[in-house]
Amino acid sequence: MKSTSESSKPGTHRKWKSYAAAAAAVAATAVVGARAVDADSAWYKALDKPQWQPPSWAFGVVWTPLYASVAWAAGRGLSRARGSERSRLAAGVGVNLVLNAAWNQLFFRRRSPQAGLAGTLLLDVSNVHLIRRMAATDRAAAAALTPYAAWCLFATALNVSLVRRNPRRRDHL
């Protein structure tokens, strides 16, 4: 006799695969991005930073729940989307995560606030696109992405400030 538990309902396997894939993609993004960050480098320490920049330790504290919310939202959205909408949503999530990890590479690895600014602006555009696409599938998932998008806008403002305070700053110390 079949059980009527949650695990035997049609679509449950697909749902958990969506959440697992989203969590794995977000975790990979976090690892790739974190590997590029070197807040203790002489180059980064020498940058003229605004007083309103949070301390370095705060970024990990903020990003951890933001990444969790992105994973949850992506898993929920992907588990509810069907057909070509699911494919477009998966592509949107993928592009967004690549842009997210790319910022660290552009800013820290290239030691270029200017390149970082270009990357964060692209990420902001991707966030708007992803939230709109997610809202078409699931409003709760789209709402869960708004703190992430807001933090990215804050990061963009910080990056703008760094570019203004450090014109042409690209040293290889």
| SS3 of 114-132 | HHHHHHHHHHHHHHHHHHH
Average pLDDT across the chain, whole number:
92
53: closest CA among 155, 165, 168?
Answer: 155
Q: Encode pLDDT of 89-124 as tens digits.
A: 999 999 999 999 999 999 999 999 999 999 999 999
pLDDT band per the 50, 70, 90 thresholds, residue 136:
very high
Threshold 0.85, pTM exceeds: yes
Q: What angle (nearest 5°) sits at the alpha carbon of residue 50, between those of residues 101 and 55?
A: 60
101: closest CA among 39, 31, 38, 40?
Answer: 31
Please give the pLDDT value at position 168. 75
